[in-house]
Structure 1
Amino acid sequence: MGFLLPPGISRRYAALGASTLVVIWLWVAFGRVYRLPEHISWNVNSNRPQYGQSSPVPDAFDLAPINSESIKSVCGDTRWNESLVFTCDESVGGIGNIRNSILNCVRYAISAGAGLVVPSIVLRNSSDISYIRTGVKTDMSFMFDTQHFIESLRLSCPSMPIYNSIPSIPNYEKAHNHIPLIPESIVGYVPKTGLSQPEEWRSTFYNWLLQYQDTPDTTRPTIVELGRSYLQYPIYSDGEGFALSFGGILKIRSDARRLATKTLTNLAETYSFDADLSAPFLPNSFFGVHLRTEKDAAEGWPAPDWVYSRYDTQSKLYLEQAPRSSPAVIYVASGDLNEVAKFASDAAARNMSVTTKFDHLSGQDLEDLTNLAWDQQALVDFLVMMKGADFAGIAHSSFAWNIALKRHQYAQKKDHLDGPQMLSDELSQMYGIPRGYPEYAACLWP
């Protein structure tokens, strides 16, 4: 028995309408992309991990090479000298020291209009971590992503020639004798806040160079070996845009980035906090503490003379600060696990939990971490600390200052150098007497 149509409706139009409905149904059932609410845990399309879930991102710190208009502007105003090349092979210490030293090298190369050989790093003595000026050098990939560095400069400072090695400099075999130079030595007195007139450094440099070359010879390369430059270049002299973007030419090496990402996702799973690693920091997550009492710190800033170098001082201040962000746990960065154990005991007496990166890596990840050198292991903490709900360090540590200044970009409190501590905002505290070390805020690239 056939289906009877109402009077006046043609079978041809009915068939057409039915076909259309079938097509629409098939598109809805199979062809449509559904976008489910991100807060629902079964949403497979969500890019944001939920409580207890691992991040699908294997490397949350893998940023693209920077293409900075602020850096381009400074480089574009520079007169470049194709026969002049700087080297940067004397950077020593930990990540805070070495990072700033390399960035200063690049900034002086821009000032002079010089090419740059990819920097190298001086290795710390593995048996005595307080011995940093060993003279043993390795390439910058020991800490940083070399290709990111080269590509960032190609994009942001395209006129600067970058050479992989000294022999790769054009006409190297005809080069003048290498000339050593500590960049700040040619200007005399340097205030704690850095060069008072950095815009004059270029002319001072070329006048200084005349003692080696009465008449400039552009047919042969002139190679200047820059000595270590640390906290002496005023980073805001080119404007805030330059200061806040320039550090982006350096990206931490890939294995440390991956281990930091794994540490954070496992930390979030263990302590049940949200792990949106695309965010600059994670509210209601963990309190990051830099316990700076290792052997090199103890010898550089002896506890009897430096109150903030003492374990008792640091532990008391950090545990007093901990409740302000209601953290799920205190994450400690330290190169001395015996000191961490002591701190964990003191924290337990206040019903607070302490953890480290070693607690959140296992199997091959833990093996990869332990195979890293002491300073390379610190890179993992350096990245993890950036994401904490709160952070604390002591004011004679460039490691801690780097973290606090980077985090300050996301803070609401802008009078962060006016106390009560040397740096104080809602995201970080750097313990020390306010204005006690003005060189860090003035001369450390965030």
Structure 2
Amino acid sequence: MPITDRANTAVIRVAQAALLLLIWVSLVHLRGPNLFYHDPESLTPAQQEEDDAFIQTAAAVEFPAPIDYAPIREACTRVRPAHFRPGLVFTCEDQHGGVGMLRLQILKCVRYAIHAGAAVVIPSLSKRNPRDITDIETTVQVPLDYLFDRDAFVGHLTQGCPGMRLYDRVEDFPNYERRAVEPLSVVGDQFEKQSSSKSRKSSGAISASNKEDDESLLLFPREWRNYFDSWLAQQNINISPEAPVHIQLGQTYLEYPVREDGDAFAGEFGKILSFRNETRVMAARALAALRRRIGADNSAQQHSIDPSLAISPHAYYGAHLRLEKDAVSAWNPDLYRFARMEDQFEEQYQNLKRTGLEAVYVASGNRTVVDLFAEYLQRRITEEETNGEVLRDRGNKTSSSSRSHIRNVTVVTKQDLLRGDSLQELEQMTFDQQGLVDFLMMFKSSAFMGVAYSSFPWTVALRRHELSQYRGIRNLGSDILRDEYSELMGMRADYPSVDPFDRGLWP
């Protein structure tokens, strides 16, 4: 029985002990009074009740607005009234990559299935090798709920595409044992003529030779069904309920132009995939702890966090540091300026100064990097304060642009904020599962910055951009992405190339 029928009724920490010891010894001398998060006092019953209400509200706010099914329904019935046809089923196995790329691959598979009018088997994922996070193309398959909310996925597709049928296993598809041919492999961009310079990529790494971003995008996405049907006809394959056809959709990179379906569809389609519920609750608990930490700061620049808002104004800074082992191996620091630790740190520091925020939440899978970043921030603050004092002693006035707007910083991670059972639960999660908490905390941050060659910061920035007053992506002096909520560091000239995330990712 199709799943949709039933639905209507129903850290890995990377650090060497010796290096960490040296870092902490040095920080004893360098740290300011609020450099690191300390355990909060026990909450009173009233405070606990307040936190419980906060957590419940915050966990329910993942997107800028609840899903609107109308644009999705329009796409599902665009070609003809009976858009979906019996006898055709798509599977999306072996999807691999980080969270941002896995999310994209699943959404693309569903989008192509909508074009084709096909049923879909609930996608599975390739689990990253826990002993080597650079190894993402493993043969270990895990179900969708490894990272995403399966029930929400089924429910949203049921509402958005009433004609689409979903199945747990391809063997559950009617008459599957009588299929016309063995499963056929298809990739989304194979039906359009490809230029000789185009390369299909299956990982998050960017090729330095891929200078023409637009070459990777489909030119005629709305013709995909016609191309697909012609391809089947050329092989004398007919789609029939009595002899079904099974299509295995393979993985490509950034080839589907998400805005071609209209801005309304682009803004809603990504909402069919929600992060697993446990991580939403965990992030809400971290947010509640951060709210209390900010409140104890007695800083006029810090304001309370409203759990009902998608973005918390004037509260905390979100810094994504892409310096884990897999990043270092994928992006050569000799080619990518911001793959160099100090350059990435300095860019974050300069942006932090512009915001005036003093609470910094860091998203990183490498604790050593976080500690070095905290030390770097405090050192730069001290240097600028010292330089300002020297200039004043000499009788010179220091402009606001030449001096830091921050005096102390509180640097925290999810491990610093979570306590008790929540921390134990987090530590039992894999690298990618822990990363979901960082995604959610970055979504809500008052200001955010990341690098332009990773899908993580693009996913965060594009979703936040849905609330921006600016229509275009390249704005506020940037030719990549910079708006009032987020910034991808540097300019295009700082990168060998920047792939078309702005046109190839659903927010």
The TM-score normalised by the length of structure 1 is 0.85
Conserved 8 A contact 2:96-2:137: yes
Spell out the pairing of 1:397-416 with structure 2 (5 A cutoff).
Answer: 397-416=454-473
Aligned residue identity for 1:70: P
Q: Give 5+ residue unaligned stretches, structure 2.
A: 1-45, 199-213, 296-302, 382-407
* 1:216, distance to aligned residue in structure 2 (A): 4.2
Distance 2:60 2:500 in 1: 30
Spell out the pairing of 1:353-372 with structure 2 (5 A cutoff).
Answer: 353-372=410-429
Spell out the pairing of 1:137-216 with structure 2 (5 A cutoff).
Answer: 137-175=141-179, 176-189=181-194, 191-192=214-215, 194-216=217-239
Distance 1:221 1:245 in 2: 31
Conserved 8 A contact 1:347-1:354: no
Q: Secondary structure at the match of 2:55?
A: coil
For residues 171-227 of structure 1, the C-alpha deviation after alignment (integer angstroms, 9 at most, x for no partner) is 121123111111112212273462111011111111112344344444211110001
Please point out which of 295, 303, 306 is paired with 2:333.
Answer: 303
Please point out which of 57, 60, 63 is paired with 1:62.
Answer: 60
* 1:275, distance to aligned residue in structure 2 (A): 2.1
Distance 1:407 1:139 in 2: 28
Conserved 8 A contact 1:195-1:233: yes
Distance 1:173 1:416 in 2: 48
Distance 1:310 1:126 in 2: 25
**Structure 2 vs 1, CA of residues 303 and 438 (structure 1 numbering), >3 Å: closer, same or farther?**
closer
Please point out which of 251, 271, 278 is paired with 1:248.
Answer: 271
* Larger radius of gyration between Structure 1 and Structure 2: 1
Q: Secondary structure at the match of 1:331?
A: strand
Aligned residue identity for 1:319: Y
2:386 is the counterpart of 1:385: no
* 1:438, distance to aligned residue in structure 2 (A): 5.2
Distance 2:326 2:306 in 1: 35
Conserved 8 A contact 1:193-1:443: no
* 1:398, distance to aligned residue in structure 2 (A): 0.3
Distance 2:231 2:59 in 1: 42
Conserved 8 A contact 2:232-2:238: no
Distance 1:215 1:409 in 2: 42
**Structure 2 vs 1, CA of residues 432 and 204 (structure 1 numbering), >3 Å: closer, same or farther?**
farther
Conserved 8 A contact 1:124-1:131: yes
Q: Which residue of 2 aligns with 1:424?
A: 482
Please point out which of 189, 197, 220 is paired with 2:243.
Answer: 220
Q: Which residue of 2 aligns with 1:284?
A: 314
* 1:348, distance to aligned residue in structure 2 (A): 1.5
Aligned residue identity for 1:194: L
Residues paired across the two proteins, number: 398
For residues 425-445 of structure 1, the C-alpha deviation after alignment (integer angstroms, 9 at most, x for no partner) is 111111243495351000100
Conserved 8 A contact 1:192-1:438: no
Q: Secondary structure at the match of 2:109?
A: helix
Q: Secondary structure at the match of 2:91?
A: strand
Q: Which residue of 2 aligns with 1:229?
A: 252
Aligned residue identity for 1:136: V
**Structure 2 vs 1, CA of residues 205 and 432 (structure 1 numbering), >3 Å: closer, same or farther?**
farther
* 1:55, distance to aligned residue in structure 2 (A): 4.3
Q: Which residue of 2 aligns with 1:443?
A: 504
Distance 1:89 1:312 in 2: 39
Distance 2:352 2:311 in 1: 16
Q: Secondary structure at the match of 2:138?
A: coil
**Structure 2 vs 1, CA of residues 214 and 220 (structure 1 numbering), >3 Å: closer, same or farther?**
closer
* 1:159, distance to aligned residue in structure 2 (A): 0.5
Q: Which residue of 1 aligns with 2:353?
A: 323
2:116 is the counterpart of 1:115: no
Spell out the pairing of 1:78-89 with structure 2 (5 A cutoff).
Answer: 78=79, 79-89=83-93
* 1:63, distance to aligned residue in structure 2 (A): 6.1
**Structure 2 vs 1, CA of residues 63 and 119 (structure 1 numbering), >3 Å: closer, same or farther?**
farther
Conserved 8 A contact 2:55-2:285: no
Structure of greater relative contact order (alpha carbons < 8 Å, 6+ residues apart): 2
Q: Secondary structure at the match of 2:255?
A: coil
Distance 2:442 2:237 in 1: 51
RMSD between aligned alpha carbons? Answer: 2.1
Q: Which residue of 2 aligns with 1:39?
A: none
Aligned residue identity for 2:59: F
**Structure 2 vs 1, CA of residues 285 and 193 (structure 1 numbering), >3 Å: closer, same or farther?**
farther
Conserved 8 A contact 1:423-1:434: no
**Structure 2 vs 1, CA of residues 63 and 86 (structure 1 numbering), >3 Å: closer, same or farther?**
farther
Distance 1:95 1:216 in 2: 34
Q: Secondary structure at the match of 2:110?
A: helix
